[in-house]
Amino acid sequence: MYTCGPTVYQFAHIGNFRAYTTADLLVRVLQYNGYEVKFVMNITDVGHLVSDADTGEDKLEKSAKKEGKNVWEVAEFYTDAFLKDYDALNLTKPTVLCKATDHIKEQVDLIKRLEEKGFTYKTSDGIYFDTSKFPTYGQLSSLDQIKEGARVEINDEKKNPRDFALWKFSYQDGKSRGEILKQVQDDSLEKRQMEWKSPWGVGFPGWHIECSAMSMKYLGESFDIHTGGVDHKEIHHPNEIAQSEAATGKKFVNYWIHTAFMQVNGQKMSKSLNNTYTLYDLEKEGYDMLALRYLYLQTHYRQEMNFTFESLDAAQNAYKKLVIDISRFEDPSVSSGQVRPGIFEDFEKRFFDALNEDLNTSKALAVLWEVVKSSYPSGPKLRTIFKMDRVLGLNLQELSHQIRNAQQILPGHVQQMVEERQHLRKLRKFNAADQIRAKIEKLGYELEDTKKGPKVTKK
């Protein structure tokens, strides 16, 4: 399975992470079904151009200029940030995480292969793929959306508006900067920071070619599943299919999984509306990233999702309640040391039937809640919940244990004193409350009043 990863010139936003969560769920569900999953994801650390059509400024070089760093520093910084967010959402680590800049040779080799088969042509700014030579081009997308001048800027030298760059020259006609400078005596030519030699001239790969080169390197020329955001369905993925199948003559991918767009307050996410939230934006407002994961699970991946802070609040409350409810269940087989296996198979079956039905996560969540609310014995209940959570990835086992342990640290008589002190404080009997506080501290506990109430820990 291959997933189109981030372009590391800015922070990924909550819409991007929705698509990575789909990929993660798919891996977990496949593993539950007994499949071994080789999961490959790329990091686009070569700056491709701001539009899908290989025109405009280079995203990485643009960020570097803005942030006063070099492009390699920019790529490293945003790769680290991405992986930190990725972990916070408890997403499955890829078996192979591959960077475009580590695979320039594979990309050049693939372009050579396409050139030998006659699928390419040269213009003054690069080597292009000739889509007219690939009759099934664009089957994944609705072709009328790719009209010249709409998303694709007009390039006189392109034979067909849908043709795309495989290799872009740093300078026109693949000439070196020195040669051009001699000709034009123009100091305004800035040197690109990322460029490589190739049989066609110094330059850099087009964006699409890296995914074909790396997926085929690690997964073979034909593989099972390719995922990504639905924004890739019109151009990036049709291009991946065209260049891969033209080179190999084989079917590239069996199943394409696209996660739908996310809106914010019913509007498209955009810089101008200032509504492209990152995980950090939510974290600093006090949100738990696993509550965001819970929120993602509530909407089917092929449905557009409308993000609002009200919906995130509701998800956070539901998630907290879930963890607290579970922390109250005791597994007698754990405390007695006896192994008593057994889970509720009917619940489990309904849960996995839902997920196996094109990842119906909201239905699966509903079954989980049914187990939590049921009046069955808590031992098998817990085991059923934790088994389900291997797929949901909400960290329920660890968090509910943490809560239990935190509660168990406080012996009953201390808990009673804490409650009595709270009561006295409400009655504004502060002197009496302080006396109890002193007693609690004498017993070896530290008491801190927080917004959420008193926090008591052993000294």
Which CB atom, from 4 or from 424, has the smaller least distance to Zn ion? 4
Tokens coding 404 = 């239990």
Could you tell me how far CA 300 lies from the centroid of its own chain? 16
- Give the residue among 169, 168, 166, 146 at the shortest CA–CA distance from 242: 166
Q: Distance (Å, rounded) from C-alpha 86 to C-alpha 181?
A: 44
Least distance to Zn ion, CB of residue 126, Å: 19
Least distance to Zn ion, CB of residue 168, Å: 17
Which CB atom, from 98 or from 394, has the smaller least distance to Zn ion? 98
Which positions touch Zn ion (CB under 5 A)?
Answer: 4, 211
Q: Distance (Å, rounded) from C-alpha 258 to C-alpha 231?
A: 8
Least distance to Zn ion, CB of residue 228, Å: 6
* 287, containing H or E segment: none
Least distance to Zn ion, CB of residue 4, Å: 3
The answer to whether 33 and 213 are in contact (CB under 8 A) is no
Which CB atom, from 18 or from 381, has the smaller least distance to Zn ion? 18
Residue with tokens 């914010």: 264
Q: Distance (Å, rounded) from C-alpha 200 to C-alpha 167?
A: 8
Which CB atom, from 152 or from 211, has the smaller least distance to Zn ion? 211
Which CB atom, from 59 or from 381, has the smaller least distance to Zn ion? 59
- Give the residue among 456, 367, 361 at the shortest CA–CA distance from 18: 361
Which CB atom, from 247 or from 312, has the smaller least distance to Zn ion? 247
Which residues 6+ apart lie within 8 Å of 60 measured at CB?
A: 7, 8, 9, 45, 46, 47, 71, 74, 75, 194
Which CB atom, from 64 or from 211, has the smaller least distance to Zn ion? 211
Least distance to Zn ion, CB of residue 176, Å: 30
Could you tell me how far CA 246 lies from the centroid of its own chain? 30
Which residues 6+ apart lie within 8 Å of 279 measured at CB?
A: 11, 12, 14, 17, 85, 88, 89, 289, 292
Which CB atom, from 94 or from 174, has the smaller least distance to Zn ion? 94
Q: Distance (Å, rounded) from C-alpha 365 to C-alpha 408?
A: 29
Least distance to Zn ion, CB of residue 236, Å: 5
Could you tell me how far CA 422 lies from the centroid of its own chain? 44
Least distance to Zn ion, CB of residue 205, Å: 12
Least distance to Zn ion, CB of residue 3, Å: 8
